A = this chain, B = another copy of it.
Amino acid sequence: MAKDKDKKQELIKNPKGTRDWSGEDVDLLEDILAQISRVFRRHAGKKLDTPVFEREEVLKGKYGEDSKLIYDLKDQGGELLSLRYDLTVPFARWLAMNSNIKNYKRFAISKVYRRDQPAIAKGRMREFYQCDIDFAGASDPMMADSEVIAIIVEVFESLEWTGRYTIKLNDRRILDGLFEVCGVPEEKIRTISSAVDKLDKMPWEEVKTEMVETKGLDEAVADKIKTYVTRKGGRDLLEELKKDEAMMANAKAKQGIEEMNTLMDYLEAWGALDKISFDLSLARGLDYYTGVIYEVVTEGSAPVIADGNSVAKEAQKQGRKEKKALGEDEDRSNDPSVGVGSVAAGGRYDHLVERFRPNADIPCVGISFGVDRIFSITKARIAKGETFSYVSSNAPDVYVMAFGGGGFDGMPKQRIQITKILLDAGLKVEFTYKKKPKPQVQFKNAENAGAPFAVILGEDEQAKGEVRVKEMGLPDGHPEKEGVLVKIAELGAEVSRRVNAKSMVAKTESMSVS
């Protein structure tokens, strides 16, 4: 029996690398997702909701080495299926199936699945949310791209992250041209690119060692790469590149540089130019990017964990250890929820749909927000006392009670009728599921629920068509400490008025604090 019980206890947990979203966490998550959706909708984004699994062949060969992280379903007869790894490939599959669609602004908010080594502190889960918008269809150079970057700015501004994020920006064509100019052999370009991408996490010397010793690059070539990839800035850096004869003689680099100029013009029009950092070390992991790439980093705002280290630092340490343990040598910078400080990432990918439908010719550009990480950072800021205007309370507005003396029946039907009146006024209402609950039990329940108001029924008041409305937690001596009598006919309007007035006061107070 004891053994049986132990066994039962052991079963009651959720799968490794997953979490149950409940309480204030799920409410904050929903508030964040609502803000992001609102921005997507303003930009005429249309929602797409695909199945959690895809036919195995759809995912196969899309994620390079990370394909080993895909969850497969058991073969129970019928199709072979896998859980989605991201939201981009299902979108490309959907575009390929709907060949009448030439243009589409699609957004998606869903969980994705990676059979990775979980690292909670690093925010690396096996099931996590992604929140993507992608513009499919023809665009003159950088027009759609600039709008995606404007969306990034609007999202973080609407989340009240002003001054706390930077959009790192680069272009695959500039990067590839740069490697050619420096003399990287064609076949080494992707692997050298992936080494460069680690410059945000390790010093140049380590990256150089990887290039020269692990990847066999000529040391002189590595040194030449350094003169480029350690540079970042804005229009100033762009002007330097325009004067770089070697770069401008390379067709790819030249096109990339000229279009980066166009992009900066458009970003200026969007009012987004001051949020970007043109960063020649940004490379991004995924193979399928063909033009502009970007990654959003947040510095100094990573949540602080118990021992005083920032999660970012801790994650870095832990990440390296785990990578070693897993024998991984590939960076996973394609995952916006993984990179230290990276909270969103994306770029242009012009040929993915063709993988499903030859000659489809549907160029795409998009962004994926790592919502779990945005959530963690926001939660840490709230814990430090910051307030956010979009974070709503989901506590009940009012708790319905009944008090009475000897022979009192608890008024269960009357409590239901009053509850219904308050619900119909749009209020959030609770009462105690006891036929005849004690006053102190009802007050305790109201307090636990966080209701700011109580409506109290009594037989005498009921006979006069009245109930008592009481604001919870008023100090002794307050003129309304014992509540005020309100006609039942006016109850919905009166309680609504009081609830709104109180929430206005709370808002003003929190604004003067922040």
Show the binding face of A for B, using Cβ within 8 Å: 5, 8-9, 11-16, 18-23, 26-27, 29-30, 41-44, 46-55, 57-58, 71-76, 78-79, 81, 83, 93-94, 96-97, 106, 111, 113, 115, 127, 135, 137-141, 143-144, 146-147, 150, 154, 265-266, 268-271, 356-358, 394, 396, 412-414, 416-417, 420, 423, 426-430, 433-435, 449
Contacts and interface: CB of A to CB of B under 8 A. Distances in A.
A144 B433 contact: yes
A127 B12 contact: no
A144 B414 CA distance: 15
A8 B356 contact: yes
Given A46-B394, A94-B20, A150 B420 contact: yes
A19 to B, nearest CB: 7
A270 B44 contact: no
Given A42-B426, A265-B413, 13 more contacts: A11-B57, A12-B96, A15-B79, A18-B53, A22-B47, A26-B46, A26-B48, A42-B429, A52-B113, A73-B74, A138-B433, A140-B412, A266-B412
Contacts of A106: 22
A387 B254 CA distance: 56
B12 A97 contact: yes
A20 B48 contact: yes
Given A55-B15, A356-B11, A22 B94 contact: yes
Nearest to A57: B11
A143 B412 contact: yes
Given A14-B50, A271-B420, A417-B269, A44 B8 contact: no
B413 A266 contact: yes
20 contacts: A8-B357, A9-B357, A11-B57, A14-B51, A14-B54, A19-B51, A21-B47, A21-B49, A23-B46, A42-B426, A42-B428, A42-B429, A43-B429, A46-B394, A51-B127, A74-B74, A137-B433, A143-B412, A146-B416, A150-B416
A348 B304 CA distance: 44
A308 B491 CA distance: 50
Given A49-B21, A356-B8, A420-B270, A79 B42 contact: no
